[in-house]
Amino acid sequence: MYAMQNKKISVPVSLSIVLSRDGKWHVAVCPLLDIATQGKTEKEVRENMQELINEYFEDPDTPKPSFNDMISTSVSVINMPVNVRVQNGKAAPVKTE
């Protein structure tokens, strides 16, 4: 582990970012920082997320995660099979009895 007490150093950290598409928009979410952004292209949403992360860490009023949380947090994206009813081209919940 890095000795962090009372020292200011720069350390590269990889944050988990989830990219998805919602209609015409590309969406990026960083679960650890609880931030999200969107863009018209994947390139744009990546650039927007980088800017948002920088703003997040520059804002003195935003609570920050501990360094240990940052390096130990992981995100898994899974496909969850569910049953949906399709009606008029839209998904609706399946009634269970």
Counting residues of the chain whose pLDDT is more than 70, the rounded percentage is 92
Confidence check: pLDDT of 65 > 90? yes
Can you tell me the distance from the alpha carbon of 11 to that of 14, in angstroms, rounded to the nearest whole number? 10
Output the CA–CA distances (angstroms, integers) from residue 27 to 37, 47, 89, in the order listed.
6, 12, 23
Can you tell me the distance from the alpha carbon of 52 to that of 49, in angstroms, rounded to the nearest whole number? 5
Query: Residue 5 has what pLDDT?
Result: 61
- The secondary structure of 6-57 as a DSSP string is T-------PPP-EEEEETTEEEEEETTTTEEEEESSHHHHHHHHHHHHHHHH
pLDDT in tens, 19-44: 999 999 999 999 999 999 999 999 99
Residue range 89-97: mean pLDDT, rounded: 77
Instruction: Give all domains of the chain, ordered by start, each with its CATH number.
Output: 18-77 (3.30.160)
Confidence check: pLDDT of 91 > 80? yes
